[in-house]
Amino acid sequence: MKKIAVVGTGLSALSLAHHLPSLDITFFEKSWRPGGRISTRKHGEYAFDHGAHYLKIDHGMIGLNEFLEKIDAIKILKGPFCRNISQNSPIEEKEIIVGKEGNESIPLKFHKHLHYPTIFSTKITSIENTNQEYYLKAGEEKFGPFDYVFCAMPFEQSKNLLSKFVDYSDIPNIEFDAIWTIMLAFNKRLGAPFQFGYHLTPEISFLMNQNFKHEYFNEECWVINMRADWTKQYYNIENYVLEDYVVSQIKKSFQSDADAIFKKSHRWKYSYTKKSLNDYNSKNFIKSIDNRLYAFGDWCEGPSIQDAWLSGKKLAKYFSKMRLN
């Protein structure tokens, strides 16, 4: 059986492995857990879905909802939502899909369901070709040989790994928006008339009440995303300065005297794909001349969770057909 290495364990990588026939697959993950940007950050008694926030009910991906239900990874919530808070848009009831025990439930249960071996806390730094076989290197460690390597990571990182084997001269450079994300816990309710919404201020693009999703802590917890253009301007802002600024904006917006008793911020460098590979050239992945090295991810299709699922599914379909021919 051909040996396959998959670098990364985000939803694109998991989708690829799910849609491929049973193969000898080994995952490599630089973090200690699978999931990529589908992440739940836990701090003591608090939990924050500080990466991907939710999945739309009507996202259009055939089979995704059914599969996630099958592995008991998700739940459906309905809550008050505001499309544009600053313009006083009407509050509406919106139904969404979230992880059953935080959004990290989605990749954790997905990964467990696949039963493929995974080498965690290992950052692959280079790929070597010896006698038509591929080896992965992480510092002084060497893994292989592998017949095929799939790199499921941001465009820039996969390019660094594959540049010796792939001609990037005709491949567009995929650009991402970075996003500052702030996690806050307040000692009492803010009095917001919604559980999640967009455009609170010119700086804050999105915010979501985490109690609405997790339901097991006393303080009111929120995740806030800053606008991409604001993040770009203040990319290197000190975390504590950012956190204090956002607290003041939140209190002012809701006319609240609540105190923030927990503050934490994180900058997602590759948060949002500005224009996908498919948008540029109608391609769904990047491959080497010998059809044995591949780069893919949500950036091939778009910025959302469902785009990550679709990216892995399309590459799996291509690879399965290629091996049969």
pLDDT reading at 264 higher than 70: yes
Please measure the distance between the N-terminal and C-terminal CA atoms of the chain and give it in whole angstroms: 17
Assign 44 a pLDDT band (cuts: 50, 70, 90).
confident
Pairwise CA distance, residues 149 & 5, whole Å:
5
Phi-psi region of 74 (alpha: psi -120 to 50; beta: other; left: phi over 0): beta
pLDDT digits (tens, 9 = 90+) for 273-316: 999 999 999 999 999 999 999 999 999 999 999 999 999 999 99
pLDDT in tens, 169-219: 999 999 999 999 999 999 999 999 999 999 999 999 999 999 998 876 778
Q: Which candidate, 177, 157, 163, places its Cα nearest to that of 8?
A: 157
**Class of the CATH-defined domain 41-103+175-273:** alpha beta
**What pLDDT was estimated at residue 254?**
96
If you average pLDDT over every residue of the chain, what do you get? 95
Give residue-wise pLDDT tens across range 45-76: 899 999 999 999 998 888 899 999 999 999 99
pLDDT-based confidence at residue 4 (cuts at 50, 70, 90):
very high
pLDDT at res. 62? 86
Contact 267, 224 (CB under 8 A): no
Residues of the chain with CATH 3.90.660.10: 41-103+175-273
Residues of the chain with CATH 3.50.50.60: 3-38+107-172+276-324
Q: Is 221 strand, coil or helix?
A: strand
Give the pLDDT confidence of 224-242 residue by residue, as tens digits.
999 999 999 999 999 999 9
Distance CA 240, CA 245 (A): 8
Rounded to an integer, what distance in angstroms lies between the CA atom of residue 188 and that of residue 265? Answer: 20
Give me the percent of the chain exceeding a pLDDT of 70.
98
Q: Which residues contact 108 (CB under 8 A, 6 or more apart)?
A: 33, 34, 35, 73
Confidence of residue 33 (pLDDT cuts 50, 70, 90): very high
DSSP 144: E
Alpha-carbon distance of 268 to 257, in angstroms, equals: 30
* pLDDT given for residue 218 in this prediction: 79
CATH code, residues 3-38+107-172+276-324 = 3.50.50.60
Q: How far apart are CA 137 and CA 153, in angstroms?
A: 16
On whether the pTM is more than 0.85, the answer is yes
Q: Which segments of the chain are extended strands (E)?
A: 3-7, 24-28, 41-43, 46-48, 55-56, 74-82, 92-99, 118-119, 126-130, 133-138, 141-146, 148-152, 176-186, 196-198, 204-209, 220-226, 260-273, 286-287, 293-296
